[in-house]
A = this chain, B = another copy of it.
Amino acid sequence: MNKPQKSTPAASSKAAPKPSNTAAAGAIPNDDGFLELHYSMLRVRRVEERLLQVFSEGKIPGFIHVSIGQEAVATGVCSCLTPADTIFTTHRGHGHTLAKGMELKPFMAEIYGRANGACHGNSGSMHVASSEAGVGGANGIVGAGLPISLGSAFASAFKGEDSVTAVFFGDGASNQGTFHESMNLAALWNLPLIFVCENNGWAQFTSQKSYMKIDSIARRAEGYGMPGVTVDGDDVLQVREGMRAAVARARAGNGPTLLECKTYRWFGHYAGDPQKYRPANDLEQTRKVDCIANFEKFLIGSGLADRGQLDAVDAGLRAEIDEAIAHAEAAPAAPRGQFLNDVYA
């Protein structure tokens, strides 16, 4: 692993990058964890680019959904969380999961369906989880993570811990009944829960205006007596700021927040999606907003990093990913009937 110079201590190397107030003072003045944000976003991007490649080579069973272009959401949100906090994510969950601090090897081996994957190869991309990193699981049923996240937040309160829970869901998912029930219950019980709506404007092959009349999902918060905030999901600092406030609120026992992060889906719904349904210029427009390139420009422009330094981070990440891929590809398939061991205690 080739983390940014100001890396967090070894003990928490599995953990999410910490918010600046808990991080040690860094070498670069005014670094409010900026390099870690960059590292996290780039890690997600490089991993998913690589996944697209190996998927297209037929090395991964099933299907995968990438979040390329949306890395600022995963990173901004998870940068405000500690390993004791929990996230729940979706079919498009690689970014959230990695940003939350999941180790790359068990992650990759799971996506490859190997016995040494985090879930023993039972589940693949759509259900990656890590109890260690506080990732309560990706979910293949749209909207189904929302009710489950209630319980995680409830347990924190029940035990008197100040940990919080964040649940990611899409704009499409916000029309599932589970969204409504979960928002109401979380508001009612003041649960330490952050509802992170990753609004990328698409649900599978359909664009947002075809499935809802309003354009800002945050407007729905009011109907539950919950604050709703919309941020630019392509600006990692805005996401982090919105999330910080929401987390502070939750940790202080003041209840949940709906944080809507507006972003763009750069690729198809799933890897290999020909996207015939998508207007050509939409894709073009979309790719004009690159959260990572923008953030690098900011870092370099403010003298917080230079190109060479960022390239070194990139090279380190690529090496880490190579290693994880090699690990997954070398791993044995699960032994016959192994899956039966995971059905009951």
Listed in ascending order, the chain A residues whose CB lies under 8 Å from chain B are: 175-181, 184, 187-188, 211-214, 219-226
Q: Could you say which residues of chain B place their CB within 8 Å of the CB of A179?
A: 177, 180
Q: Could you say which residues of chain B place their CB within 8 Å of the CB of A222?
A: 219, 222-223
Q: Could you say which residues of chain B place their CB within 8 Å of the CB of A184?
A: 175, 211-213
Q: Could you say which residues of chain B place their CB within 8 Å of the CB of A188?
A: 211-213
Q: Which of the residues B175, B181, B219, B226 comes within 8 Å of A175, measured between beta carbons? A: B181
Q: Give Cα distance in the complex from A261 to B109, angstroms.
A: 56
For A217, the closest partner residue in chain B by CB is: B223
Q: Give Cα distance in the complex from A77 to B326, angstroms.
A: 68
18 pairs of residues in contact across A and B, judged by CB atoms under 8 Å: A175-B180, A175-B181, A176-B177, A177-B177, A177-B179, A177-B180, A177-B181, A187-B213, A212-B225, A213-B226, A214-B223, A214-B224, A219-B222, A219-B223, A220-B223, A221-B223, A222-B222, A222-B223
Inter-chain contact B187/A181, CB cutoff 8 Å: no
Task: Kindly provide the distance from the CB of A173 to the nearest chain B CB, expressed in whole angstroms.
Answer: 12
Q: Give Cα distance in the complex from A222 to B212, angstroms.
A: 12
Q: Give Cα distance in the complex from A187 to B214, angstroms.
A: 10
Q: Could you say which residues of chain B place their CB within 8 Å of the CB of A211?
A: 184, 188
For A188, the closest partner residue in chain B by CB is: B213
Task: Kindly provide the distance from the CB of A148 to the nearest chain B CB, expressed in whole angstroms.
Answer: 14
For A179, the closest partner residue in chain B by CB is: B180
Q: Could you say which residues of chain B place their CB within 8 Å of the CB of A226?
A: 213
For A220, the closest partner residue in chain B by CB is: B223
Q: Could you say which residues of chain B place their CB within 8 Å of the CB of A180?
A: 175-177, 179-181
Most B Cβ at <10 Å: residue of A175, A178, A184, A219: A184
Task: Kindly provide the distance from the CB of A242 to the nearest chain B CB, expressed in whole angstroms.
Answer: 19
Q: Could you say which residues of chain B place their CB within 8 Å of the CB of A219?
A: 222-223
